[in-house]
Chains A and B, each alone.
Chain A
Amino acid sequence: MTRAGSLVLGAAALVLSSCGEPEPEVHEAQFFAFGTVVEIVLHGVDADTREKVLDELEADLEYQHRAWHAWEPGALGRVNELLPAGGWFSAGPSILPMVREAAELSRMSGYRFNPAIGRLVGLWGFHGEPGDEPAPPEDEAIQELVAQEPTLDDIEIDNIRMRGHNPAVQIDFGGYAKGTAIDQAIAQLRRSGVEHAIVNMGGDLRAIGQRGERPWRIGIRHPTDEGVFASIELSGDEALVTSGTYERAFEYEGERFHHIIDPATGYPARGLESVTVLHDEAAAADAAATAMLVAGPEEWPEVARAMDMTHAMAINEEGVVWITPPMRQRITFEVEPARVEEVTP
């Protein structure tokens, strides 16, 4: 055999033998919080630290879920009770920074991401469990709320106090709360010395480090079909967030009504099934993904630009994919989409 032939065979043997190496230690845990399944994946964490961080994480998520719940008793529930009266009151320490940051993101999105429309979301029946026969609310009731134009700009904050200037304002952070919880979970994991982990909470995910010698591999579920539609590798510190109409919806007389309400119309946003954003923080990515979905197929790139989101992908109900060039470089389609169009915001 010649030297070149030996070299090729040696290389092939090396690759094939590496396939049999044992996997680095990876541990998975599952909780239930924020109305969804929470998956934690840890790599290279000893058993004692693992038990401690998982217990802390679960306790934190349960606390945050109660505190940030839009319509059940808790810190945010209390804020929503007091806002309409217009007087000053002290707000919980976790609520104030969320309102400030969400207000800034709301302005950047042209108010397409608008957590102040809690009354509208509740009017559509998306607070609590759906009734036996959910139906759209009366248009008159919808338009009455839309006309009052509630935004987080109607909330004045002074140190630890806040007051409302628009009785129509009710705060519902939606997915932004999950994103914030994930960002705080990652910070907590880092403080505990964890360098390689995934925190995955139903549409919001953030990964730090990597899995041993390779990046974390994430399968992305198709918005309307079963199974994995695309995949992406994450390493370093990256958040992947999807806002999708399939998360909560009801059917009435053959028409589907989902939970992502367009603040400008008062009706569920039309035109896109899902928007996926890659960013370094989950909360900002969630606000952006929601805003882009509300913006629709024509205007989502403008929102991506306004919110500094360079990596984004939007899908409509026909399976057409619009994707920014940087995102196209990162995504591997496991199932060929109906059509893929690159869009530069």
Chain B
Amino acid sequence: MIDDAWLRNWFMEHVLPLEPALNRFIKRQWPDLHDLPDIRQDVYERMLIKACEAQPANVRAYLFAVARNAIVDRSRLRRPAHAGSGFDGISEEDMELDWLTPERFFEARQEMSRFERGMEKLPRQCREVIKLRKIEGLSAKEVAFKLGVGIDSVHHQTMLGMRALVDFLLGGDGKIRRPGNTKRNRKVGP
């Protein structure tokens, strides 16, 4: 019987560090970037469900296999934006290339500079709010007071900034995604 703590540990230790490689893999097979978060969520969901029964010996290989299946399933539901590309299958080469980049072990210094770059990408006010909340440890109320803005605005800015930063630290592009502006903000599935 797998318990939640174990599953969470397993996910954080074995799966999430592979996100940069997973992102690249998905982008190559499904060029429409707006679908990336949904596909990734689908993949992670399948990984967790599987891990409850049995943990794959080679997490990386299994992750890509799950990603491939998720994409094939999705292609049956609707055609991708770039109809021309098609799915010729995932070449061994594609998988090999990812093995060569040791993305898993970010050096402490590299991580720090990535973090700094992520912060720089944020809009100014967003960055201010994140600095006050995370670096100075102020509560939302205190930040609102200090900046002279409403607490809702602080929540909003923190939300946008944190999501972009987490995305960037996990290997994404770090762009701010405003809710409701995603191209396909609708229910997916049968």
Same assembly:
no
Chain A positions within 8 Å of B, measured between CB atoms, are none
Chain B positions within 8 Å of A, measured between CB atoms, are none
